Each structure stands twice: as structure tokens, then as C-alpha cells.
Amino acid sequence: MRQSTWSDHETLDTIISALDLSSASGYARFLQIQREARAPIEAWLAENASKDMRPPAQLALIDTDLAELGHSTSASPQSTFDAPRDGVGGVVWAIAGSSMGNRSILADLRRSSPQFPAAFLADPAMPAFFKAIRPHLANPAKSTAQLAASIAAARSVFACFSSAATATREIA
């Protein structure tokens, strides 16, 4: 799956890397992108994933950080998310796997701007979930069709985050 989604992941990494997370506005934009993308993805997972395959909810943590930065969280997300129902493994792989990148961002944030709130980035629930679910995600598909659905679903996650980055350009 990693190889099939590499370019999507690189596109998103380029977008996130361009943000100045040492500034309050840059960090707030990062959090708004996270909120904008995760809201419809979390809703999709609530409808389509079994409880054991559902990553920990992150929206309340993001809202806490945004509020501490003085940013409103009242706006409804504009992003939408859809993925093949058989692609739950791909959605979970992309969302839970993002916790590794978030740990790196947290380390940078602690060095550059330790005063910024980090409930979302520092929460241990997602990395713990990823660690627990990782053996299942190593082989998420039982068939070629399910593998294709998982890849398409993971690509949809990356596209949702990229779209959220575009949607939040004017917010922060």
C-alpha cells in the first residue's frame, strides 16, 4: 500500500512542510487542516468500520488546541470524504500511520514553540492504536479487489487532507 500511495503522501507532506509551525498562525492552520480533513473521515469510519478498526477520535483534541490558540472551531467542515466500503483497512492505515509524522511534528514544535498547546499531537491514543492494529494492516486485504479498495481508500484520505489544506488557506 505504501508504494501505491507514495505520490499522494509526498504531495501532502510537501503541503504540510510548507507551513511555519513555529508561528501561531501556521500552527493554527495545521490544526485547522487536521480538523477539516478528520471530521468527515471520522464520520465515515463511524459508519463503516467495526469498533476494533476505528481509530481514536481526534477532533476534541484538535478543538482544544485551536481554542487555546484563540481560534474558533464553530465552522462546520466543508470537506467530504468517501471511500470504498471494502477499503476500511486503507483508511485506517493512512489515518493511524499519520501518528508517526505527528510525533516528528511534535518534537519540532516542542523545540521551536514549547508554549503552543499540543493535546492533539501529544495524545498517546493514536500511536498506541497504530501499534496494536499494525499486524492487521500489514496484510489488510483478503483479495485483489479488497487490496484495490484499500489503496483507493488510502488515496482518498490523502486527497481529503490535500483538499482541506486548500480549503483552509484563507482561514488562518
- pLDDT tens digits, one per residue of 90-126: 999 999 989 989 999 999 999 999 999 999 999 999 9
Treating both helix axes as pointing N-terminal to C-terminal, what angle do 144-167 and 24-48 enclose, rounded to 10 degrees?
150
3-state helix, strand, coil in the chain (%, to 5): 70, 0, 30
- What whole-number distance in Å separates Cα of residue 60 and Cα of residue 125? 13
Q: Where are the domains of the chain?
A: 2-167
Average pLDDT in the 56-72 region? 95
CATH topology for 2-167?
Heme Oxygenase; Chain A (1.20.910)
